[in-house]
Amino acid sequence: MGVVSSASEEEEDPNPTTTETKSEGKEENDNDVDQLVKELGKVVVTDDSEEEASKALKTCASWIKEGSVRKIIVVTGAGISVSAGIPDFRTPGTGLYDNLQKYNLPYPEAVFDLEFFAENPQPFVTLAKELWPTGLTFRPTITHCFLTLLARKELLLRVYSQNIDGLEHLAELPTEKLVECHGHFRSASCIRCKTAAPDMELIQDTIIQKAEAPVCHACKTGYIKPDIVFFGEGLPNRFHNLLSRDVKDADCCLVLGTSLMVAPVSNIPEMVNKKKCRRILINREQVGSFPSRRFASRDEMEIADCDTSVRKLAKLLGWLDELEELHAKVSKKFSKEG
């Protein structure tokens, strides 16, 4: 019988030189791998909040730590909700206005035009169905939770939000600290007779489930729309009642994620006290009058993503764990599993 060698037995190489070369090559490869493992072991994986904070954020943190800033007025725009999955309005290609072609509008802004809505409410109904703040589709971001944390630290004078997504409300920001300048979905009224809708659950169900514009129960002819401010409508009384006092009292104006293109909210950073109020812009691009000579050394800019910058600022203030815990709690509250 012949003997069959097992796989563990070495076969004689007819070329000893080749064997030595292979052996040397294997040793070199092993050494290279060992070295790579050692180098990888030195690598520390960090998130964005662990990167070096900018001078602007360090300055802002120092204002808060030293107590020179205790009444912060915040102006927010669509940029703070982008990471929640809600598109902003004006970014080319991805902005809301650029993606309204499917509604066959005469011009993008017509979706918020009162006269157009009276004739053809369907485009707004379709948009409202997508944006309605139930907490299941879109949830508050870390930036929304940072605003709530400012309120809990008794540092927040007011948030003037240009957003209609209601995420500040879902992030548990106290109602008295929030001005939703362009309205919200929590109430609705007839565009013709102005009668307030008595049953918001019915309004929500008509828009979201049936994809229809509710008809007023009082006048029987006018459409009911959520109390979102359309072009041509005045801003809520709450805006006018609080703003004149707030801009006098504020010692810091924080501008977050906005193009500062829509008046009168865009004017707020110019209305604060130029002799005492500090200003900081956190945005992906430079906007408004930032930096302004009129505010001298009291202007700071962080041209970056809002969520990343807010995490860095929270870390500088020693609030990061508290912020992440709040964000996790709010997210779980609105999760399907939570």
- Structure tokens of 224? 């009911």
Reduce the DSSP state of residue 223 to 3 states and report it. strand
Q: Are 218 and 198 in contact (CB under 8 A)?
A: no
Q: At what angle do helices 142-152 and 306-317 cross, to 10 degrees?
A: 30
The residues near 214 (Cβ < 8 Å, ≥ 6 apart) are 188, 197, 202, 203, 206, 207, 223, 224
- 52 — phi, psi (to 5°)? -60, 125
Cα–Cα distance between 275 and 328 in angstroms, integer? 39
CA nearest 53: which of 244, 308, 247, 290?
Answer: 308
Whether the CA torsion 239, 248, 157, 321 is positive or negative: it is positive
What count of other Cβ atoms lies within 10 Å of the Cβ of residue 285?
8
Distances (CA, A) of 231 to 35, 110, 117, 214, 262: 65, 9, 11, 20, 11
- Rounded to whole angstroms, the Cα distance separating 256 from 313 reads 13
Largest CA distance in the chain: 106
Residue 240 a catalytic site member: no
Q: Which of 169, 182, 184, 327 is catalytic?
A: 182
Is 333 within 8 Å of 135 (Cβ atoms)?
A: yes
Beta-carbon contacts of residue 34 (< 8 Å; ≥ 6 apart) = none
Query: How does DSSP classify residue 304?
Result: S
Catalytic residue positions, numbered? 182
